[in-house]
A and B are shown apart, each in its own frame.
Chain A
Amino acid sequence: LAKTTQPISMDSYEGQEVNITCSHNNIATNDYITWYQQFPSQGPRFIIQGYKTKVTNEVASLFIPADRKSSTLSLPRVSLSDTAVYYCLVGPPKRSSNTGKLIFGQGTTLQVKP
């Protein structure tokens, strides 16, 4: 998997939009960008994956510029329950037949305050 860099921590307040950026300068042509969310003492949960431009689901939006060297996870109107660690991964897409390690970096600890 390509190396990723994201902020160690971020603070926000309830009701605000939060944008977490991930840098992945060495992304390969076939790589996808995937984000996970981990609450304390729980396993990470897949939240969104994309290849280019914009992807949106019921949880978040993922913005990927044309050069794909970075991506931004956007959480609209966060609540206290969005306090978690968010991990950015870059690698093969869903249902890829490649083999490899699924490596998580340090992630970004998002603290949402009332």
Chain B
Amino acid sequence: DSGVTQTPKHLITATGQRVTLRCSPRSGDLSVYWYQQSLDQGLQFLIHYYNGEERAKGNILERFSAQQFPDLHSELNLSSLELGDSALYFCASSWTGGDTEAFFGQGTRLTVV
């Protein structure tokens, strides 16, 4: 158990809909990273938050947004969903803002039908 909690574990929704994925980092960790992993694809970095502030953006679509709240949990909002958005979405947390030791959650599997 990494200590990072993601909910829900599975999500099935229709095209055009909007969903929210939630991530609770390990106790004491200030950084949260979000990743998308499509079937047989690598981990695509989406966005990084540190102590409530956005610190880095990757290939995140404009239809996607994220935020980190004062209690350090984070949410990833995906809107106007398309079939191609079906993927595993992982969040990871680390103590600081840039170190290479991060702890990953078990992911949310999103299926868009």
Contacts and interface: CB of A to CB of B under 8 A. Distances in A.
Interface of A: 1, 32, 34, 38, 41-46, 49, 87, 89-107
Q: How extensive is the interface on chain B, given as a class?
A: 20 to 34
Interface in B33-77: 33, 35, 42-43, 45, 48, 50, 55-56, 58
A94 B45 CA distance: 19
Given A41-B88, A94-B101, A99-B50, A104 B96 contact: no
B49 to A, nearest CB: 11
Contacts of A103: 45, 58
Interface of B: 2, 4, 33, 35, 42-43, 45, 48, 50, 55-56, 58, 88, 90, 92, 94-107, 109
Contacts of B88: 41
Contacts of A32: 100
B95 A43 contact: no
